[in-house]
Amino acid sequence: MVPAPFLKWAGGKRQLLGHIEALLPERIDTYFEPFLGGAAVFFRLAAGRRFRRAVLADANPELVNCYRAIRDDVDGVIAELRGHRNSRVLYYRVRRRDPAKLSETARAARLIYLNRCGYNGLYRVNSSGQFNVPFGSYRRPVICDEDRLRTASEALRDVEIRCDDFANTLKHVGRRDFVYLDPPYVPLSATASFTAYAKRGFGSDDQERLAAVLRALGTRKVPALLSNSDCATTRDLYGDFDRIDRVPVRRAINSVAHGRGPVDEILVRSFDYPVATVPGVAILKSGYGTGGRRSRAGRSRGSPLK
């Protein structure tokens, strides 16, 4: 079985995988992914043995614990999951449990269960850091996919998994490495924000800090690729980068059904690094920003993308 995500994740990258593969460098010593989420890109690259080592990270301690538990004790997580069933009463009982009082395997099983049975696969917490996604009312959700979990565990076996901020994670990245940045997206509207994946959230200051990190990686000639929503904010943040591609995707997390349709997302490269030729992968028609990258490390206010 090919390794694949075992968590549903709002904004997951399955639709973008072919486009992302088309923008990979030829050689990757260490693959860095500091916004872990569902890890669709990591699992795809692991299946193709595209890197020698990998460092995965996230600021969400529950998510990090889950990946570590799958890596280190997948049998224990599976044993815990076998005691769960698709029940509204059980769901809210499990949701109320304090993860800090559970073992690492029980915490991981709790997250997977809430993810599989909660509304739309969302991970959202309130200001107190408490998970608050409602029951999803699915008829037959797969709560414990043993084969998928064991395959994921094998892919994660020698991977370093950190709970840390993205900037700290990328301090020692080098030119032969590759970074994929998939942050909580800039919301397209006031009601479309799903950035509360950790207690602290991910706001506009974080988006500006991330753009500065990508710009610094480009200055150091470190290959990096960032995905985000295509909106006025991201055009302002990334409009001065040389290589920007737009990709239409379909998102299904809008609460209004007719709002669930194709939207554009952007893929921004740290600099115009050479990409590998991957058989069977469609090459994007590249778009460009407003000119060469500016050398200053702060926020850029280039003209909107054309």
Q: What is the residue-wise DSSP string for 36-99?
A: -TT-HHHHHHHHTT--SEEEEEES-HHHHHHHHHHHH-HHHHHHHHTT--S-HHHHHHHHHS-G
- Look up residue 296 and give its DSSP letter: -
On average, the pLDDT of the chain sits at: 86
Q: How far is CA 178 from CA 27, 102, 173, 246, in A?
A: 9, 35, 8, 20
Maximum Cα interatomic distance, the chain, rounded to a whole number of Å = 57
- Flag the least confident range among 53-57, 240-244, 256-260, 266-270: 256-260
pLDDT at 15: 81
Q: What residue ranges do the domains of the chain occupy?
A: 14-59+164-269, 66-154
pLDDT-wise least confident of 137-151, 223-237, 259-273, 274-288: 274-288
pLDDT at 178 over 70: yes
Q: What is the pLDDT of residue 249?
A: 85
Residue with tokens 């990591």: 42
The fold of the 66-154 domain, in CATH, is Adenine-specific Methyltransferase; domain 2 (1.10.1020)
Task: Kindly tell me if the per-residue pLDDT of 250 is higher than 90.
Answer: no
- Per-residue model confidence as pLDDT tens digits over 81-111: 999 999 999 999 999 999 999 999 999 999 9
This prediction has a pTM of: 0.87
* pLDDT band, very low/low/confident/very high, at 294 (cuts 50, 70, 90): very low
Measured CA to CA, the distance from residue 81 to residue 94 in angstroms comes to 12
**Of 3.40.50.2300, 1.10.1380.10, 3.40.50.1370, 3.40.50.150, which CATH number belongs to 14-59+164-269?**
3.40.50.150
Tell me phi and psi for residue 99, to 5 degrees.
Answer: -60, -25
Q: With a cut of 80, say whether residue 114 has pLDDT above it.
A: yes
Looking at per-residue confidence, does 62 or 285 come out higher?
62
pLDDT band for 13, please (50, 70, 90 cuts): confident
Matching fold, domains 14-59+164-269 and 66-154: no
Residues 6+ apart with CB under 8 A from 140: 86
What is the model's pLDDT at position 169? 98
Residue 289 has pLDDT above 60, yes or no: no
**CB-CB contact of 267 with 23 (8 Å):** yes
